Amino acid sequence: MSINPVNWFEIPVNDLSKAKLFYESILGVELVENEMGPNKMAWFPMEQNGAGATGTLIHGDGHTPSLAGTIVYLSVDNIEATLGKINNAGGKTLVPKTDIGEHGFFAHFEDCEGNRVALHEYPK
């Protein structure tokens, strides 16, 4: 069976409620709050056995927001519209919409917690 190697991601946050509202407003989805041991989480939508990866916002010891390190790419239909929502919701554009040829477009932003996160728009 051939699958993509990534199946889960965690975006560290200091203020789970604030970050949950931020991501819900920019992506138009509902995140579901959960607790696993000492960690508090807000899970992105997922489809059991579906293609691609999903993940969570996570608050707990050892989970520190950062502009350095691994970058998670979120799929969106329209990068420019999403960057507008990000900037209105307290985030900041770091790398504007950039053409990557046959692979579409990408952009980087800083979320409300200080994480570097990216957007990817497939070509239409």
Q: Domain segments of the chain: what residues?
A: 8-121
Amino acid at 96: P
Q: Which CATH architecture has domain 8-121?
A: Roll (3.10)
36 CB-contact burial (10 Å; exposed 0-12 / middle 13-18 / buried 19+): exposed
Rounded Cα distance, 124 and 105, in Å: 10
- The pLDDT of residue 58: 98
Confidence of residue 38 (pLDDT cuts 50, 70, 90): very high
How distant, in Å, are the alpha carbons of 16, 18, 51, 76, 119 from that of 105? 29, 28, 21, 10, 8
**Average pLDDT over every residue of 30-54:** 93
- The pLDDT of residue 48: 83
- The pLDDT of residue 9: 96
Asked if the model's pLDDT at residue 4 lies above 80, the reply is: no
Confidence of residue 49 (pLDDT cuts 50, 70, 90): confident
Ramachandran category for residue 84: left, alpha or beta (phi over 0 → left; psi -120 to 50 → alpha): alpha
CB atoms within 10 A of CB 20: 20
Q: Percentage of the chain with pLDDT > 90?
A: 89
- The pLDDT of residue 5: 82
- The pLDDT of residue 50: 81
Asked if the model's pLDDT at residue 2 lies above 70, the reply is: no
- Asked whether the CA dihedral 49, 54, 55, 56 is positive or negative, the reply is negative
